[in-house]
Amino acid sequence: MKVTDQTPAQAPKPFILSFPFRRTGMGGVSDTILISFRSRKVIHSVLRTSRSGNHGSRSYRLYPGKYLAWDVNRSNGGNLYATVRIIRLSEDGQMATEIEWQICDRDPMITLDDLPVDIRNLLIENKDELPLFHSVFPFSFNEEE
């Protein structure tokens, strides 16, 4: 009988990623929501805000992999900025953007139909949990849908 030296495979280590958060009384909003490609759902996050609740950070505990990032910002004056990104978190905790779509830069730049089908479907499935979704894509849905 031969005994081999086997070591268990190292389990991936989770990392904490934080993104700025802002929600003012004047209508200003800044937020980043991450969606898992595997589960197709919004990832649980922890929101920490200042005493007033207007500023803070949204933190995620993530394992290395690929995620979809919904990044929106509306200024107090009503200017809307939105980006959708595919991000990759590496084994050493470094985040890199693989692909980015600029949706709004004050004015709409692309529509929901201009996004790849898998990205569009992922956003539509989670639209109720994405801040400012209906402001970013105001003409994408009828009231009946």
Q: Residue 78: is its pLDDT beyond 70?
A: yes
Q: What is the pLDDT of residue 97?
A: 95
pTM for the predicted model, two decimal places? 0.86
d(CA 96, CA 133): 24
pLDDT at 5 over 60: no
Note every long-range contact of 137-142, with CB atoms under 8 Å and residues 24 or more positions apart, other chains counting. Answer: 137/103, 137/111, 137/112, 139/111, 140/111, 140/112, 140/113
Contact 136, 72 (CB under 8 A): yes
Per-residue pLDDT band at 108 (split at 50, 70, 90):
confident
Average pLDDT of the chain?
88
Over the stretch 109-140, which tens digit does the pLDDT of each residue have?
899 999 999 999 999 999 999 999 999 988 76
Give the pLDDT confidence of 14-23 residue by residue, as tens digits.
999 999 999 9
Q: Assign domain 15-133 one CATH number from 3.30.70, 2.10.260, 2.60.40, 3.40.50.
A: 2.60.40
Q: Tell me, what's the pLDDT at 68?
A: 97
Domain locations in the chain as residue ranges:
15-133
8-state DSSP, 113: G
